[in-house]
Structure 1
Amino acid sequence: MRVLGIDPGLTRCGFGVVDGGPARSVRLEGVGVITSNKGQGVDLRLLEIYRGLTHVIEQYAPDMVAIERVFSQNNVSTVMGTAQVSGLAIVLAAERGIPVEMHTPSEVKRAITGNGRADKAQIQNMVHKILRLDAPPKPADAADAVAIAITQLWRGSGPVKLGSDGARRTSAQAQWAEAERKARRAQEKSTSRL
């Protein structure tokens, strides 16, 4: 199976293409970053990213597209650009009948390093080791995209678990949701004691 991983961003959109083999073996097929000109309006910047992603999809013909899911950040303008680029990638894949999966940053970190709080250097180092490369892919956006693709290969398609709302969840997403539920319950208990 060939997976295109995408680390969406309006300034730098990382991509990584990996092929999966037996016993979780992985081979890197392509990696890079699509950039847009910060001096242009958002419409032209999105068009640059769109054209770049179109070229990557046509060049590598992935069986699946895996995209990093953005669920919270402090900088609203960054979140908007990231969400817009994610939407472009989803539509490009849908037009071609390519399945799309989304992965949270903590899910990717856990899959690649075993630690859901790993930093970018740890991810780059593990991608380097997993793929047996001479050097880690750079910049970090490219390495992150490769990590997203590897996560999808190792996870496979289909839901691991259904949440209480009926939504599909991977094991990492299910763990995250359970941790949030426990934190809310603890907060409610401490508030009710006051």
Structure 2
Amino acid sequence: MEKRILGLDPGLAILGFGAITCTKSPTSIQETTVSVLDFGVIKTSADTEMGQRLCTLFDDLHTLIDHLQPDLVAIEKLFFYRMSSTILVAQARGVVMLALAQHHLPYVEFTPAQIKQALTGYGNADKSEVQEAVARELDLEDIPKPDDAADGLAVALTASYQL
């Protein structure tokens, strides 16, 4: 059985995504192969009007979903940094949730600490430890770039552990 998982790290300026395929062995329930389908970012410019930035996220996310055809979407939960950036991320996250609803896609959410715990065994791991775990788990020679794309893959991997 194969399952496609799209991991999303929501943001207004940069929305990171990572898509993986999980294939369960027909002979062993506990044996699962995970491979990378795609990863990258959707960017919007700070010079662009807010409504247009949200439209770009919406349109690009629809295109991405249509292309990847995920079975499940995993999203990093909103984390509070500074109030001004939190509001912007919340607006971008609303666009993500709308796109998922329009595609009738199930989703799961994870806090940053849950993602760190799942990948490194330590909920307060630093970013480089998580990125190294992503590369190791997906058998990649290099850490995926940019960082937001690696974060998208980390979210997808976290969801795959719960299958």
With the length of structure 2 as denominator, give the TM-score of the two structures: 0.91
1:153 equivalenced with 2:160 (yes/no):
yes
Per-residue Cα deviation, 1:18-70 (whole angstroms, up to 9, x for no partner): 11123243110000010001111211111111111111101000001111001
Percent identity, aligned pairs only? 35
Query: What is the distance in 2 between the residues matched to 1:100 and 1:130?
Result: 22
Amino acid at match of 1:11: A
Amino acid at match of 1:27: S
Query: What is the distance in 2 between the residues matched to 1:48 and 1:132?
Result: 32
CA RMSD across the alignment: 1.1
Matches within 5 A, 1:14-163: 14-22=16-24, 23-73=31-81, 75-156=82-163
Per-residue deviation at 1:114? 0.8
- Contact 2:79/2:112 (8 A) holds in 1: no
Per-residue deviation at 1:113? 0.9
**What's the counterpart of residue 180 of structure 1?**
none
Query: What is the distance in 1 between the residues matched to 2:91 and 2:33?
Result: 33
Per-residue Cα deviation, 1:79-131 (whole angstroms, up to 9, x for no partner): 11211121111111111111011110000010011111111111111100001
Per-residue deviation at 1:71? 3.9
Bigger share in helix? 1
**What's the counterpart of residue 27 of structure 2?**
none
Query: What is the distance in 1 between the residues matched to 2:33 and 2:75?
Result: 21
Gaps of 5+ in 2: 25-30
Moved over 4 A (4+): none
Query: What is the distance in 1 between the residues matched to 2:40 and 2:66?
Result: 15
Q: Aligned to 1:9, what secondary structure does the other structure show? A: coil
- Contact 2:10/2:16 (8 A) holds in 1: yes
- Contact 2:18/2:149 (8 A) holds in 1: yes
With the length of structure 1 as denominator, give the TM-score of the two structures: 0.77
**What's the counterpart of residue 12 of structure 1?**
14
State which structure, 1 or 2, has the greater radius of gyration over its C-alpha atoms. Answer: 1
**What's the counterpart of residue 184 of structure 1?**
none
Gaps of 5+ in 1: 157-194
Query: What is the distance in 1 between the residues matched to 2:14 and 2:32?
Result: 29
Q: Aligned to 1:155, what secondary structure does the other structure show? A: coil
- Contact 1:90/1:100 (8 A) holds in 2: no
